[in-house]
Structure 1
C-alpha cells in the first residue's frame, strides 16, 4: 500500500513529510503551499492575521473588527506581519499567545498529492489599538500540494455552553473533510472531539451537522479580496460575526464569536 493510499490520517502520517520537517518545493507536479493563520475572537473585538506562501509568492494580511470598525491591510511584504511562535504583531495588534487545548493534526489526499493541517485553540493577551485585551481563538498551520483548483468553506470560532464550558471549533467542507479522520473538531474545555460531516449554507449564514446540529451565524463585518496574479487567481470572503445554536446534539453554543470563510482559488 502506498503512503497516499493510507490517507486520511488524524495524527502523524506514516511515510510522508509534514511540518515541522522541511517539505519539498514540488511534489507530484504541484508546488508547495503553506500558511499560518491566527484568529482570535471575543465579545469586544475579533481579529485575524496570516502569512501565506504559494510556491515563490508570499503574502500576509491582518484585520481587526471592534464591533463598529473594520481595519486591516494586505501586503506582499510578509515581514510586516509577525506570527512567530507565541507572537502576533501586525498593524495596531501586539499580542502574545499560547496553546489553550489539544492540537489536532490531519493529513489528507488532495488531487494527485497530499495536504496537511494542524489546528489548536489559543489564548492571547496584549493590546489592540492600544487597549488591553484577552482573547481566545484558533491556530491554523497548513501546508501541502493542493490541486490546481481548490475550493473550501470554513468556520472557526470560540464561545461557551449554557453551563459555562469553554468551546472552540473548526468546521470545513472542501479540504480535510473525509467522513472520518477529518479536521472537523470541537474542543470542550480544551479536549478535542471529531465531528461528523457538515454542510454550509451558500450565503454562509449557517452550518448543519449530523443529528440536527445547526450552528447559526450573524454576520457583522466582511473581509473580501479577489486577486489575479498570473497563474494564481483567488476569490476570498471571510466575515466576522456571532454564533448560536449547536455543534452536536450534546454541544449547545450559548454565545459564540468567530468567522465563516469561502475561498475559491486556482494555484
Structure 2
C-alpha cells in the first residue's frame, strides 16, 4: 500500500498570492515558474537571471557500483558531471565534469519530473535526461571512456516529495522534487568494463530556486524499496527532510549532521530532532571537487557508502532496523 502521512497534494503553482507556496507536499508538480512573485519576493529580471539556479541530479547504485550524474544551470554558466564509483575496489572508475554556456551547451526544463528534460553538450561529451513516455525517463551519458544508457520507471515508487519555501539571507525562494527508490533498466560501460544496472535503484533530485550568492548545505540521501530518506541542513532548513518506509512518505524534523569536515571519510552520524531517524554512515570513498574561479567558487565532497541504524514512522512506534543502505552524504559550499 502506498500511503502519505499528513502531507497534502501539490498546489497548481509554486506561487500563491505573490509568495512561495511554502510547505511539503506528496506528489509531482507540473511546472515551476517564479515570475508571479510580488511584493517583498519580487526581484528584477537581471537579479533573477544571475540568481536562478536549477539542477537535475540522479544517483543510483547496486552491489557493484554507485553512479552520480548532474546537470546544473546557475544562470551565468552551467556545468555537468558524471562519476562511476567501483564499490568492490573503492575507487572512481570515471570522474568527468565540464562547464558550458546556458542555452547553448545546456538547458533544463522548468517541469521537474512531469515531462522534464535536461541536456548538456560539451567537448566530446553529451549527457541527457529525457521523457520517452509520461512515466519513463531515458538517461544517456557519452564521454571519453564512459557510456551509459538507462530507462527509469517513474511510476513504480512511493509518493514523491515536493518541498517549497522562502529562502532568507540573500535568496528568495526554492522548490525541490525528490523521489524514493526507482527501478532501473540499462548498463554502463567504463574503462573496458560493463556493469548491468537492472538490479540498481535510483533516486532523482530536481531543484529550482532563486538562491543567495553564497549557499551551503549538508545533505544525505539513500533509497531502496523498503526504506529511504532525504535530509538537508543548510540554506533550505528542514523543508525537504523526509522518510520513505514500506511505501509510506513521512515528514521528518530538523536534521543533525555529525562528521569531521577535515576527514570526511571517517564515519558520519545523521539524525533528526523529532526522534524518527538515527543512522551511522560508513564511507567507502568519495567524489570531490574544489574550484576557485575568482568570481565563483565551490567546495564539494560527496562520500559514497552505507547507512545503518534505525528509523521510525512515529515517536511511539517500534524502531525499524536499517543496515547496509547504500547512499551518499554531502558537504557543499558555493559562491555562485
TM-score range, shorter chain: 0.7 to 0.9
How many residue pairs get matched? 252
> Which position in structure 2 is the counterpart of 1:109?
166
8 Å contact from structure 1 (residues 240, 259) kept in 2: yes
Q: How many Å separate the matches in 1 of 2:305 and 2:285? A: 7
Q: Indicate whether 1:144 and 2:209 are aligned.
A: yes
SS in 2 for 1:81: strand
Does residue 262 in structure 1 map to residue 325 in structure 2? no
Query: Under a length normalisation based on structure 2, what TM-score does the superposition of the two structures give?
Result: 0.69
Q: 1:21 and 1:152, CA in 2 relative to 1: closer, same or farther beyond 3 A?
A: closer
**Which protein is richer in strand relative to its size?**
1
Q: Does the 8 Å CA contact 1:117/1:142 hold for their aligned counterparts? A: yes
2:179 corresponds in structure 1 to: 120
Displacement of 1:231: 2.6
Structure 2 residue aligned with 1:66: 86
Q: Distance in 2 between matches of 1:42 and 1:63?
A: 14
Structure 1 segments unaligned to the other structure (5+ residues): 13-17, 160-164
Note the residue ranges of structure 2 that are not aligned, 5 or more in a row: 1-15, 101-119, 132-136, 313-317
Q: Is the 8 A contact 2:152 2:184 kept in 1?
A: yes
Shift in Å, 1:215: 0.8
8 Å CA contact 1:226–1:235 kept in 2: the answer is yes
| CA positional deviation for 1:228 | 2.3
| RCO higher in structure (CA 8 A, sep ≥6) | 1
CA RMSD of aligned residues (A): 2.4
For residues 227 and 204 of structure 2, the distance between their equivalents in structure 1, rounded to whole angstroms, comes to: 14
Q: Choose from 319, 327, 331 the match for 1:250.
A: 319
* Distance in 2 (alpha carbons) for counterparts of 1:237 and 1:212: 26
1:177-192 paired onto structure 2 within 5 Å: 177-178=237-238, 182-192=239-249
Say whether the 8 Å CA contact 2:252–2:276 is kept in structure 1.
Answer: no
Find 2:22's aligned residue among 1, 4, 8: 8
SS at match of 1:83: strand
* 3-state SS in 2 of match to 1:168: strand
Instruction: Give the 5 Å matches for 1:202-241.
Output: 202-203=259-260, 205-209=268-272, 210-211=274-275, 213-241=277-305
Name 1:98's counterpart in structure 2: 153
